[in-house]
Amino acid sequence: MALIKGKKRYWLAGAAAAAAIRYAIRRRRIYDLYGKVVLVTGSSHGLGLLLAREFANRGAKIVLCDNRPDDVERARIDMVKRGATVLAHVCDVTRLEDVKNLISVVRKHFGDVDVLVNNAGAVQSGPMQDMRIEDYEDAMRVHFWAPLYATLEVLPSMRTRKQGRIVNISSLSGKVSVPYLLPYSASKFALVGLSEGLRTELVADNVFVTTVCPGLIRPGMSATGEDEKTSEEDEWLALSESFPLAATSADSAARKIVEATIHGDAEIVLSVPARIATIARALFPEPVSDTMALVNQALPTTSSACEQPDEEPLADASSARSLQR
């Protein structure tokens, strides 16, 4: 009995020491956002806009970036009304030349980018047999190549100055592949691998990369102050509203992401169910895979219920309403 109690004390002491060390490291890495230039892609609405607002609340200069001119302008007006120092730019982040031009404009207006948030995203949904090669290519362009383009453009300055933050908004689907989201999941897995690899190589330059993996997110507010909702996302929105305890509010997600950025955290998985799913997948891959297979069998065999209109452009605007980020 005495031996067991002794071991228990050692475990508690070890845990306390580990917690103290982590606390000290996080405090040492605290990054003051006041006056910093923060570029958020896909920031005309949804989670991106909420992130822009939260960074602005910490005194940062904000660069809004999206590929829809009207949405960008509405977001700019919203930010100006809130007293933010803001630059709005129309850009398709899946095009390298557009990204190069964006960074050039930012440098002329504000100076070098201090914080890059790769938030732009798009969702392709449906059974595997209905997915086209183009769906996979589009997903990779938005979720892998776009973050890589932006990162490579801002990195030289960050490494020279020995300071900076890069935040990659992936998804729970970048940890656990979900049925009917295969192109999306594959591209988010790619982003997680890129993000984690970048972090290990850039810490030596005092540039910290944070990987964000949200699960279900409840909708935020648009620039007009109305609940965000579009017809092609009704089903995803209904799902998040059906499981309110499993979903994180978009406002709460934005605050937690900004805090993780300030402390230079390696990874943040939003919502308790998402963390449980991530741990379960790491520890018990076979049972989780079997569970996903059962979920797949329960889903409809065609994607007609969740197809997006053919005219919908390649989304450069992340939404806080999607099933997964």
pLDDT band at 253 (very low <50, low <70, confident <90, very high): very high
pLDDT tens track for 100-113? 999 999 999 999 99
Per-range mean pLDDT, top range of 97-106, 116-125, 263-272: 97-106
- Give the domain 30-298 fold: Rossmann fold (3.40.50)
pLDDT tens track for 13-48? 666 665 666 556 666 679 999 999 999 999 999 999
The alpha carbons of the chain give a radius of gyration, in whole angstroms, of 20
pLDDT band at 114 (very low <50, low <70, confident <90, very high): very high
- Among 136, 149, 180, 184, the active-site one is 184
Task: Please state the pTM of the whole predicted model.
Answer: 0.80
Is 10 considered catalytic here? no
The answer to whether the CB of 37 falls within 8 A of the CB of 61 is yes
Which of 43-52, 96-105, 311-320 is the least confident region?
A: 311-320
